[in-house]
Amino acid sequence: MIELTKIQTIYQSGVPAFVVLPFADFAREHPKEAAIITPKKPRIPDGDYIPHAVVGLHIKEGMTLLRAWREYLGLTQADVAEKAGITQAALSQMESGENKLRKATKAKLADALGISVDQI
């Protein structure tokens, strides 16, 4: 443990019951346990496949594929818009289906999401 670590002791009936420590320290001391509880990034399949979760959002929730992918990947509109070089408002319109995606814009969005153009 690093000496400067801020450890919190929680007492119950005047007796130490729990100790809270920074996750980085926990992960260093218990890497296997930390790996189990660390959130995993959603998997982007190879090729032009679309994950079942994305299809579910598209069909069951009525989202455009663009929005379904963004939500599946846990990204905000602001994140994707910035990476794609467009405004958040423009992305919002595209996600709602108000604007048809142009080929160049579709390529920028696919790149920003880390997927192929054929997956949107």
Q: Which residues contact 26 (CB under 8 A, 6 or more apart)?
A: 33, 34
Q: What is the pLDDT of residues 39-72, one digit of tens each?
A: 666 677 677 789 999 999 999 999 999 999 999 9
Specify whether 30 is located in the same domain as 62.
no
pTM of the model: 0.65
Q: Quick check: 4 pLDDT over 80?
A: no
Q: Does the residue 106 lie in any domain?
A: yes
Domain count, the chain: 2
Specify whether 26 is located in the same domain as 78.
no
Q: Measuring CA to CA, which residue among 102, 72, 97, 71 is closest to residue 86?
A: 102
Specify whether 80 is located in the same domain as 23.
no
Could you tell me the CATH number of the domain that includes residue 107? 1.10.260.40
List the domain range (segments joined by +) for residue 59: 52-119
Q: What is the Cα 8 distance to its own chain's centre?
A: 30
Dist CA 95 CA 80 (whole Å): 11
Q: Does the residue 1 lie in any domain?
A: no
Q: Does the residue 15 lie in any domain?
A: yes
The one-letter amino acid code at 116 reads S
* Better-scored residue on pLDDT, 59 or 38: 59
